[in-house]
A and B are shown apart, each in its own frame.
Chain A
Amino acid sequence: GQSLEQPSEVTAVEGAIVQINCTYQTSGFYGLSWYQQHDGGAPTFLSYNALDGLEETGRFSSFLSRSDSYGYLLLQELQMKDSASYFCAVRRGNQGGKLIFGQGTELSVKP
């Protein structure tokens, strides 16, 4: 089978740094993705890691360790608009492979 675990909620203050962890168990692993979802809106793609290491995109970075079946999303210089749910997702299959999502982490950014 497959499973992903991430914390259900995280709270941080504006301007701070927060890390959302994700551990996974799956077969046929091709990579780890992160998505953001505001209040039942459309999930939007944030990042993708296929290889070990850190990928940086502006204020967001994502890390993967394949040997540990672990990854994290790092959000820096938090803003109020970053309050949302964040999902890690395992990619099964290379081109056009399906994504299996975790249950999501609700991030609350306080002033």
Chain B
Amino acid sequence: DSGVTQTPKHLITATGQRVTLRCSPRSGDLSVYWYQQSLDQGLQFLIQYYNGEERAKGNILERFSAQQFPDLHSELNLSSLELGDSALYFCASGGQPRSGYTFGSGTRLTVV
């Protein structure tokens, strides 16, 4: 157990629907990062939050949004889902250079 908790582990939904992915960072970590990994691809940075505020944005679609709550957990909302949104979605926390990010086990989203 890395200390970063992601739920659900698996999600199957239909095109056009909306889903929410949840992440609880490791205790003491203020930063949360969201990444998308499509089949056999690298990790694409989506968005970063630090202590409740958006810190950096990557190639996140307008259909996607995120927030970080006062208890530091974060949610990634994906709407108007398309087949191409099927991917692994990872959350990570931490980010001290010499200890790196700690990743959660991911949410596997399948859009049918």
Question: Could you tell me which A residues sit within 8 Å of B by CB distance?
Answer: 30-31, 33, 35, 40-46, 48, 50, 87, 89, 91, 93-104
Contact = CB atoms under 8 A, between A and B. Distances in A.
B103 A44 contact: yes
Contacts of B37: 40
B43 A50 contact: no
B16 interface: no
Interface string B95-112: 111111111111010000
Q: Which 5 A-B pairs have the closest CB atoms?
A: A45-B100, A96-B95, A42-B103, A103-B42, A101-B43
Interface residues of B, number: 32
Interface of B: 2, 4, 30-31, 33, 35, 37, 41-45, 48, 50, 55-56, 58, 88, 90, 95-106, 108
A42 B90 contact: yes
Contacts of B48: 96, 98
B97 A45 contact: no
Contacts of B103: 42-44
A41 B98 CA distance: 22
